[in-house]
Amino acid sequence: MEPMPYLTRQKFSSHKCALYGVEDYDVKGVDNLNDPIPVSWEELIVNPLTLDMNYANQIHHKIDYTKGFTTFGVHRLQEKKITDNLQEKFIGCITDYIINDKWSPYYEINEMLYVGVMGSHKVLLGDMPEILLRQVVGNTITIEEVLNI
């Protein structure tokens, strides 16, 4: 999956927290919202709290976690009717804020994204350049297997 739409929204949320003076956030921490560069791979892990912040257009201190995506499907924290009401909104949020019309050509990858994020699993977004993919495939297949293909 192309990580830039999500990364841009995550940087926007971090910058907004810095403007509100939330502890551990710095206004100078985000250089450019138009062309974000990941600082570490942890930034590319989809966080439902970031989706909550973007959907509500609020910082995390002002969000009711029991009515948001962060506790989606956790029956001890969220009532079933709230979970059922949030399902379509959560799917729309993933489509708008993570995919952003940049679907993977592989159906299984798209399906894993939805199931993983909605199931509170850690989903790492990444994009592999075509040349690297060819090198990986070239190093994993022997000449005899290529001849058999």
Residue 36: alpha-carbon gap to chain centroid: 15
pTM for this predicted structure: 0.75
Question: Each residue of 7-25: pLDDT tens digit?
Answer: 888 888 888 998 999 888 8
d(CA 104, CA 101): 9
- Rounded to an integer, the average pLDDT of 54-70 is 90
Report whether pLDDT(132) > 80.
no
Report whether pLDDT(3) > 90.
no
Question: Each residue of 74-118: pLDDT tens digit?
Answer: 888 888 898 899 999 999 999 999 998 888 888 888 899 999 999
Give helix 107-118 / helix 80-94 axis angle, nearest 10°.
140
Q: Which residue type is seen at 128?
A: M
Closest CA to 39 of 83, 69, 7: 7
Closest CA to 13 of 56, 64, 42, 67: 56
Q: Residue 125 has which token pair?
A: 């977004």
Q: Residue 38 has which token pair?
A: 């990941």
